[in-house]
Amino acid sequence: MNAMLDILCSIVIAGLLMLNLQRMNGDLVTRTYKGGNEYLAQSNASALSDMVNEDLLKVGYRVPGRKITMCDSSNFTFYADVDRNGAVDSVRYVLGGLLPRTTNPRDRLFSRRFNNQAADSLSLGVTKCFFTYFDSTGAATVAWANVRGIQADITVESLAPYDTSYAKSFVRVTVWPKNL
């Protein structure tokens, strides 16, 4: 009788250990996927912020006259000698419509157009991009002639969900170009 009780207790303890190992494995898989999605969202946000920051610092560089041609919440167009070849270049950032071909229902087209070349799609999971413009006192303005500072708020989400949730990353780029 004692042998049967020992075997039964061993089976119960082994079953509990197996359940614990399965739960631990499930938690590890969840953390791995969520961490990977968060890393991708943060990497994409960082890459976008570096590029936008570099461009915005050059607004008006070696440009006589009008330096900004459009400045609203989702479009920004400016002139600058971006590639430092002596010719004035046009750069345009646009937040477009929703992208139906991605799994994220909030994913939008974010593009950069350099001169008359085809627009470079910078989507990378961009769900929001909001431009704000400041005058010399730091107050918000929409008059392109008064713009002295530019702020871009960019929200990036992971391209694929894990368990119906998307990892999110937010970055704010604020620049006061010397040439404005």
> Can you give the residue range of the structural domain that contains 106?
3-175
Give how many domains the chain has, as a whole number. 1
8-state DSSP, 36: H
- pLDDT averaged over every residue in the chain: 94
Say if 180 falls within a structural domain. Answer: no
Residue 119: per-residue pLDDT: 86
Structure tokens at 165: 């949730």
Q: Nearest 10 degrees: CA dihedral of 53, 73, 43, 114?
A: -60
Does the pLDDT of residue 122 top 90, yes or no? no
Confidence of residue 124 (pLDDT cuts 50, 70, 90): confident
Say if 74 falls within a structural domain. Answer: yes
Radius of gyration for the chain, computed over Cα atoms and rounded to the nearest angstrom: 26
Say if 158 falls within a structural domain. Answer: yes
Strand arrangement of the beta sheet that strand 149-157 belongs to: 126-134, 149-157, 168-175
pLDDT, tens only, 154-174: 999 998 899 899 999 999 999
pLDDT, tens only, 17-40: 999 999 999 999 999 999 999 999
CA-based nearest residue to 149, from 65, 57, 64, 75: 57
Say if 98 falls within a structural domain. Answer: yes
Q: Nearest 10 degrees: CA dihedral of 9, 10, 15, 18?
A: 150
Say if 21 falls within a structural domain. Answer: yes
Q: Is 62 left (phi over 0), alpha (psi -120 to 50) or beta?
A: left
Q: Which residues contact 74 (CB under 8 A, 6 or more apart)?
A: 94, 95, 129, 130, 131
